[in-house]
Amino acid sequence: MDYLKYLLPSAVLTLTGIGVLAGGVWVWMGLILFAVMAIPDILMDFDFSVRRMSTPGALFMLFFQIVPIAFLWVAYWIFVSRHPGVVEIIGAITSMAIITAAVGLPIGHEMFHRSEPVSRFLGGVLSNLFLTSYIELEHNKNHHVETSSALDVDTPRRGEAVYPFILRLFIFIHTNSFAQERRRMAGYGKSVWFSPSSRVFWQWVGAVSLLGVFYFADGWRGVLIAALTALLGSAIVTIFSYVQHYGLQRVPGTPIEKRHALNHTRPVSRVLTFEIVTHSQHHIDPTTPYWKLPAFKDAPLVGSAIGYFFLSLVPPLWHRVMRRHLARWDSEFASPAEKELAKKANIDAGWAA
């Protein structure tokens, strides 16, 4: 039965693709599905069940998702080639960005955390849908090292609204990934831009390839549509980082423990995101595959990842809700040193009473 649960991402990807192909109001299918799934996820309790899956079966369910993702983007190309109107384009961009970010990128994330070349290649291809095929450089070598500390740009500051955070993290993903690869290639005496062993080289090759494919769908209009989809998708990805790490504290260099990630272990969130919302173990050991990630009861628990995504878009309401969660984190989870960091963070946020 656990295997069948992961047909939900496939169904969402496929239905979104069908909606895009149908055109008209159906292009909003992805956004509607995402919003509708929030309802049961918010109403249901936390899911602490253990996944009973064999390694071959779990990997099959992971790699099978490539089929509906490919269908979704082929459908999008066909849609763009029909020269749709502006309203249809807006709906399609919104649906494509949110479903590729919320469903497709967690699959890519799981793949680029694996060690074998095929998984890492496919993870890069899926990341390239947002023109960030080298995102794993920043993700693995900065976020997973510095998570929840002041050195981690992926961890939002207390009182920081989601919109400036999106811009701040988006810029850092590209500048940090580029800087990492430039240092590495300099050590080999090779060009960061033109050496085939450089991730920056494949970053721009991937971007040109994706945009070039859409040029053949509708000329420069198609390029603009693909670029806008990628930018919106990247912004949505940063929102999920915002939701999963908001306001947490860790002394740089200290061990990463359960308390250093927010967990949104609701049933729909778990399946839709290939378990990334069972977030604590992923940061303790990033090599733990999705079907072995335990849903801890003694880790910081918040609500539905989908529901909190929408909540974050309304900063005053978001801060009101999250202040209660962070007050509990400060009192029940923080170490003595982290309590001091939290006090200062609350003052900086203007929350000190």
What are the extents of the domains in the chain? 2-348
Q: Which residues of the chain have pLDDT under 70?
A: 353
* pLDDT value, residue 353: 58
- The pLDDT mean for the chain works out to 96
* pLDDT value, residue 115: 87
* pLDDT value, residue 352: 77
pLDDT, tens digit, for every residue of 32-68?
A: 999 999 999 999 999 999 999 999 999 999 999 999 9
| pTM assigned to the model | 0.94
Residue 250's beta-bridge partner residues? Answer: 149
